[in-house]
Amino acid sequence: DAGVTQSPTHLIKTRGQQVTLRCSPKSGHDTVSWYQQALGQGPQFIFQYYEEEERQRGNFPDRFSGHQFPNYSSELNVNALLLGDSALYLCASSLSAGGLQNIQYFGAGTRLSVL
Partner 1 sequence: KNQVEQSPQSLIILEGKNCTLQCNYTVSPFSNLRWYKQDTGRGPVSLTIMTFSENTKSNGRYTATLDADTKQSSLHITASQLSDSASYICVVCRSSYKLIFGSGTRLLVRP
Which helix (H) or strand (E) covers residue 73, if one does?
none
Binding pattern for the stretch 50-69 against partner 1, x by CB under 8 A and - elsewhere: -----xx-------------
Strands 10-13 and 105-106: unpaired
Mark residues 18-37: x for contact with partner 1 by CB under 8 A, - for none: -------------x-x-x--
Using CA atoms, how far residue 44 sits from 36, 69, 71, 91, 102, in Å, is 5, 23, 25, 11, 18
The distance of closest approach from Cβ of residue 83 to partner 1 in the complex, given in angstroms and rounded to an integer, is 21
Compute the least distance from the CB of residue 85 to partner 1, in Å: 18
The letter for the amino acid at 98 is: G
How many residues line the site for partner 1 (CB under 8 A)? Answer: 30
- Binder among 44, 65, 73, 86 for partner 1 (CB under 8 A): 44
Site for partner 1 in 79-108 (CB under 8 A): 90, 92, 94, 96, 98-108
Tell me: does residue 39 bind partner 1 (CB under 8 A): no
Residues 31, 23: Cα–Cα separation, whole Å: 11
| Run of H or E residues at 61 | none
